[in-house]
Amino acid sequence: MDFMKFKKAVSIAVILTTSILLVALAAIFVVYKNQKSITQNVITSLNRNFVGELEVKDSHIAPFANFPYISIDLESVVFYGDKLSKNDTIYYAQDVYVGFRIWDILRGNNIVRAIKVAKADLNLVKFKDGKINLLTAKGMEQDDEGEENLTLDIASIIFSDVEIKYEDLENLNTYYFHVGRAESAFKMEKEHIYAKFLSKLIFDFEVEGKPTFFSNKHLDLDISLDYDQNKSFLTLERSKVALEGVLLNLTGSIELDESLNMDLKIDGEKPDFNLIAAFLPEETGNFLRRYKNEGDVYFQGRIKGEIGEGKVPSIGLEFGCDNAYFLNPAREKKVEDLRFSAFYTNGEERNLRTSEFQLLNFNARPEQGTFQGKLIIRDFINPYIDINLNADLDLGFLGDFFEIEGLQGISGQVIVNMDFNELVDLNVYGVSGIDKSIKSELIVNNLNFRLPDFPHPVQNANIYASLVEGDLFLERANFGIAGSDFSFEGKVLNFPSIFHGEDKKVKADLRAASEIIDFEEIFKNDSTAWKEVISDFEIKLAFESTGKELKHYKYLPKGEFFIEDFHAKLKNYPHAFHDFHADVIIGDNDLAVIDFTGEIDKTDFHFSGKLQNYSKWFQETPQGKSIFDFDLVSNHLAIHDLLTYAGNNYLPPDYQNEEIDKLKLKGNLELVYDSGFRSADLWLNHLEGKMKLHPLRLEKFKGRLHYENDYLTLENFQGLLGISDFNIQLGYYLGAGDKTAAPRNYFSLVSNRMDLDALMGFEGLDKPSNHKDSFNVFQVPFSDMDFSAKIGKLNYHTFWLDDVTFKARTNPDHYIYLDTLSLRAASGTLGIKGYFNGSNPDEIYFHSTMVADKLDLDKLMFKFENFGQDYLINENLHGLVSGTIVSKFLVYPDLTPIIDKSEASMDLTVYQGRLVRFAPLQAMGDYFKDRNLNNVRFDTLSNKFELKEGVLNIPRMNINSSLGFIELSGKQSLDMNMDYFIRIPLGLVTQVGFRSLFGGKNQDEIDPDREDAIVYRDTDKKVRFVNLNMKGTPDNYQIGLGRDKRN
């Protein structure tokens, strides 16, 4: 019998289980079979009424996602704000699980009982007209009714990993909700809907894109709701809010009739300051939690009134503490007897303008000193403040208690007595209660502290500042660092206008002074710091503007800036700066320097200028054009004073001590940016002045310097220097990339007249020079560059040359190719072609071919060096020369030839020549006692000379001279060692010998400046010669009979 009962029970259980499984399978089958059509029907029906567009990528059965409901998983659900562009994504969900009850499915009722949303983003925007993007896109602002095939009867909604952003464009506020998990449950009893909402989220609040103190706040919500459908009345029951772990109670009601009328109350009590810390910014709250604290801390608030459609409820908050203390356990420093009460209300108009905050009866007793005060702030848009503060604090205690990062070893005393009341008599006509209510002072005595990574302490800082009738006075502020002293004083008139942003005049003055500032010692651990010592320093500055400009400026506040005085002395720049004055006007987009004057020793200057479009320099990516006009005037400018630092002056030696009087300089600089730097133009409109050491007047200077695409051009740079004029064109590539594709570099000079001696400070050829140590241009980088010059008249070494034409080019291998150098001197001409090889800057060779036509040697003044001595090519030889010289000269860096290491082949003819103090002839003085051997004239001399290894080889030549006609050949080394073969007509020797024997005139009686007549050889007569050999030097020589060396 028992077995039969058991068997019957099992049978019933099997039947029931099987039935349930069959029902479940049937339901799953029905959902599976119809889920595509259900999804599509729902989407189509919804989109028919939407302004936006809802899309679902795919759907499938998820039996256990919302168990015990059977769910359809809608994958990649996207809702766009419009049907066409589909650019505005309002929300996106990776998965949306829609749950149905089994019996509803079997009956054919598509009633949604549960919804679960996973990994979603929702972007809500409230526009300035009050419309919300989600409601607009779903057409919920219209009255049209559409058909839907889906019925909602939600029992639960679950959110998992959802990001919500709500942007209020009207008030420029943004709210972020980072929901980790949120669950809601619903239950209906008669006319009531009971709901339970549990959530963990992180909340952020931004204003104008900037974080507020209410950021990264952790919220845990446990909300219980009772909604009366008949009365449209919502009641909050037994609700709690946990903010940063601090539990707050929330109760109240919301009337949901035509408007939202709420009455919510929130309160909390804690035995410590975690309740206060929960409402503070994250960093401040964490800092507060470092301290051990206790006290009677309370918080309560109420929100009452209508909300929505521009209406804001009344908000009132009250919090405070009593019998509290704070202890820093690490330093064993304690503040006791802490108490205060605080209130907040959004005021009569319920906005920021009528908001008011009060912090009253604030009292704290540190171990040393006192602190008491109150604070009232009214109008959060343009705050008016009432502060009453009395404090006497030991800074050493504060440094230990707060463990201030960045301040070490702080000590001293600070005293604050502040009575700052802007709220008095605000509504009384004709009474400025603000000015009369501000009476405050700040005193700092013997402040000492150290900064991290700074080698010296700040010592003995003493400050006294006061605020009287709206004016801020810094009566003294002084301190010392590493033997340097600093002192400041100043004032700001109408100080409250600044933080109120009022359109009232504000003037500030500042004076800074120091007996000595040793930057090298102060920043001794910084190798890049300025190594300078400033003494006797004082500067006085002033600025005039308005409070509105100083608070709301975008780049620079509009106003007028003054340097009223400045003087200082520098150690490495041993000059005195004094009598500096400046007036700078800052406009909307222009900055003008009206008159910047001053003196550096005896140098004075007056500078004016204007910078247009200065605002672009404050942009992250500068755009547009900026123009800077400048005008400089100086009665006396000592270049040595300005350009010498630490004993170094990098100007050419001839100009290092130059001075300029009556200097006038005028021009403008133009800079163009377009997504980066594009071009720069420097226009020189006027330059004039008078130099002292080089007595030249600078006149009519002008030109343009242009830089673009790494290429620098100088266009029509022209002017007058004394009697010299010039016009220069220059192009030079400054880029670091491939220079083959860049424009070719060039330099061009055109001048009608150029006095090179005046420009270079020429003092004469007898001035000794160190050729070897002179500047070597071949040690600097060369480029592919063309050079040209065309000069009408050129004064070179006191001689004027005409029609000077020059063309040359260089390459990166340090070659200078002299393609053309031609000139005229009187009736003669000279042409040179060749090249310099400076590939080895220690051995510079000049290969050249020179062609002359009746060129006056006196106008060449060519200089060469031989065995350490300088010689001029026309020192012994004068006249007009024609011919060709092919040479290879080793030259010094200043291009002076080294003759003993050079070679040349010279095919020359000299006309109307003179041999002056020519050593071989002077050595034959005994044979020509009646002739002037210091100045021997000849008519024409032609020969082919060869210079090699310091020896000049002279083939046989006939010379018709003032001595008579002679024949001469031989060689002479440049150390004056001679080996000559000379043939003298026999008749001439006989006459000389006769006079020598019979007491003719003595050599001392010959006038050294006398020019004897030239004796010409008669080619029709047979001449008998005496052959002489001359060997030795002019000081030690031998003359004897020799044999004719002709073949």
Q: Provide the pLDDT for residue 279.
A: 66
Residue 375 DSSP one-character state: E
Q: How many residues does the chain have?
A: 1047
Is residue 398 scored above 60 in pLDDT? yes
Residue 23 host element (H or E)? helix 2-49
Answer yes or no: are the C-beta atoms of 445 and 462 closer than 8 Å: yes
Q: Provide the pLDDT for residue 993.
A: 45
pTM, full prediction: 0.62
Answer yes or no: are the C-beta atoms of 337 and 328 closer than 8 Å: no
- Rounded mean pLDDT of 902-906? 89
Is residue 916 scored above 90 in pLDDT? no
- Rounded mean pLDDT of 194-210? 84
- Rounded mean pLDDT of 426-439? 42
Is residue 334 scored above 80 in pLDDT? yes
Alpha carbon separation from 826 to 124, 789, 793, 855 (Å, rounded) = 94, 20, 11, 8
pLDDT digits (tens, 9 = 90+) for 472-505: 999 999 999 999 999 999 999 998 888 788 899 9
Q: How crowded is residue 840: how many other Cβ atoms within 10 Å of its Cβ? A: 10
Q: Which of 128-132, 383-387, 566-570 has the highest mean pLDDT?
A: 566-570
Answer yes or no: are the C-beta atoms of 52 and 81 closer than 8 Å: yes
Please indicate whether residue 961 or residue 169 has the higher confidence score (pLDDT): 169
Q: Provide the pLDDT for residue 1003.
A: 39
Residue 336 host element (H or E)? strand 333-345
**Residue tagged 């547009």 (tokens):** 624
With left for phi above 0 and alpha for psi between -120 and 50, is residue 883 left, alpha or beta? left
Please state the separation of Cα 1042 from the chain's center in Å.
84
Half-sphere exposure for 243 (CA within 13 Å, toward CB): 24
- Rounded mean pLDDT of 981-1002? 56
Q: Between vectors from CA 179 to CA 175 and to CA 185, what angle results, nearest 5°?
A: 115
Is residue 193 scored above 60 in pLDDT? yes
User: Which distant-in-sequence residues (6+ apart) come within 8 Å of 748 by Cβ?
Assistant: 728, 729, 730, 787, 788, 789
Is residue 146 scored above 50 in pLDDT? no
Per-residue pLDDT band at 435 (split at 50, 70, 90): very low
Please state the separation of Cα 186 from the chain's center in Å.
63
Q: Which residue type sits at 459?
A: Q
3-state SS record for 886-949: EEEEEECCCCCEEEEEEEEEEEEEEEEEEEECCHHHHCCHHHCCCCCCCEEEEEEEEEEEEEEC
Q: Provide the pLDDT for residue 143.
A: 46
What tokens appear for 244 in the block? Answer: 């940063």
Answer yes or no: are the C-beta atoms of 923 and 1039 closer than 8 Å: yes
Q: Provide the pLDDT for residue 951.
A: 86
Answer yes or no: are the C-beta atoms of 719 and 725 closer than 8 Å: yes
Q: Between vectors from CA 90 to CA 84 and to CA 96, what angle results, nearest 5°?
A: 110
- Rounded mean pLDDT of 407-433? 65
Q: Provide the pLDDT for residue 685.
A: 94
Q: Provide the pLDDT for residue 48.
A: 75
Q: Provide the pLDDT for residue 521.
A: 87
pLDDT digits (tens, 9 = 90+) for 856-886: 877 665 544 444 444 445 567 788 889 999 9
- Rounded mean pLDDT of 305-320? 84
Rounded Cα gap, residues 767 and 790, in angstroms: 29
Q: What is the DSSP string of 244-300?
A: TTEEEEEEEEEEESSSEEEEEEEEEEESSTHHHHHTS-HHHHHHHHTSEEEEEEEEE
Residue 68: asked if its preceding bond is cis (omega within 30°), the reply is yes
Nearest to 318 by CA among 289, 369, 358: 358
Q: What percent of the chain has pLDDT over 70?
A: 78
Residue 135 host element (H or E)? helix 133-137
pLDDT digits (tens, 9 = 90+) for 599-642: 988 889 999 999 998 888 888 888 888 899 999 999 998 877 66
pLDDT digits (tens, 9 = 90+) for 79-129: 888 877 777 888 898 988 877 765 655 555 666 678 888 899 989 888 888
Per-residue pLDDT band at 1000 (split at 50, 70, 90): very low
Rounded Cα gap, residues 654 and 774, in angstroms: 14
Q: What is the average pLDDT value for the chain, to the nearest integer?
A: 80
Residue 654 DSSP one-character state: G
Rounded Cα gap, residues 416 and 463, in angstroms: 11
Rounded Cα gap, residues 417 and 536, in angstroms: 35
- Rounded mean pLDDT of 332-342? 88
pLDDT digits (tens, 9 = 90+) for 276-312: 666 666 676 777 777 788 888 888 889 899 876 678 8
- Rounded mean pLDDT of 960-984? 80
Rounded Cα gap, residues 473 and 466, in angstroms: 5
Q: Provide the pLDDT for residue 188.
A: 75
Rounded Cα gap, residues 182 and 116, in angstroms: 10
Rounded Cα gap, residues 1021 and 1015, in angstroms: 14
User: Which distant-in-sequence residues (6+ apart) come within 8 Å of 159 by Cβ?
Assistant: 116, 117, 120, 179, 181, 182, 183, 199
Please state which of the ranges 15-19, 244-248, 798-802, 929-933 shows the lowest mean pLDDT. Answer: 15-19
3-state SS record for 74-130: EEEEEEECCCCCCCCEEEEEEEEEEEECHHHHHCCCCEEEEEEEEEEEEEEEECCCC
Per-residue pLDDT band at 1046 (split at 50, 70, 90): low
**Residue tagged 């100009």 (tokens):** 655
Nearest to 745 by CA among 758, 724, 731, 734: 731
**Residue tagged 């559409």 (tokens):** 146
Rounded Cα gap, residues 581 and 541, in angstroms: 9
Strand boundaries in 797-857, DSSP class E: 799-811, 815-825, 828-837, 844-856
Q: Provide the pLDDT for residue 427.
A: 40
Residue 201 host element (H or E)? strand 192-207
Q: Between vectors from CA 824 to CA 823 and to CA 828, what angle results, nearest 5°?
A: 130
Q: Provide the pLDDT for residue 670.
A: 93
Per-residue pLDDT band at 819 (split at 50, 70, 90): very high
Rounded Cα gap, residues 940 and 959, in angstroms: 7
Rounded Cα gap, residues 733 and 741, in angstroms: 10
Please state which of the ranges 300-314, 394-408, 581-595, 787-801 shows the lowest mean pLDDT. Answer: 394-408
Please state which of the ranges 74-83, 283-292, 394-403, 899-908 shows the lowest mean pLDDT. Answer: 283-292
What tokens appear for 188 in the block? Answer: 């209906």
Q: Between vectors from CA 75 to CA 70 and to CA 77, what angle results, nearest 5°?
A: 115
**Residue tagged 């608030």 (tokens):** 301
Answer yes or no: are the C-beta atoms of 719 and 698 closer than 8 Å: yes
Is residue 2 scored above 60 in pLDDT? no
Q: Provide the pLDDT for residue 632.
A: 92
Please indicate whether residue 487 or residue 437 has the higher confidence score (pLDDT): 487
Q: Which of 130-144, 577-591, 727-741 has the highest mean pLDDT?
A: 577-591
User: Which distant-in-sequence residues (6+ apart) come within 8 Å of 452 by Cβ?
Assistant: 406, 408
Rounded Cα gap, residues 57 and 320, in angstroms: 55
Q: Provide the pLDDT for residue 486.
A: 96
Is residue 922 scored above 80 in pLDDT? no
Rounded Cα gap, residues 458 and 406, in angstroms: 13
Q: Provide the pLDDT for residue 581.
A: 94
Please state which of the ranges 30-39, 176-185, 218-227, 683-692 shows the lowest mean pLDDT. Answer: 30-39
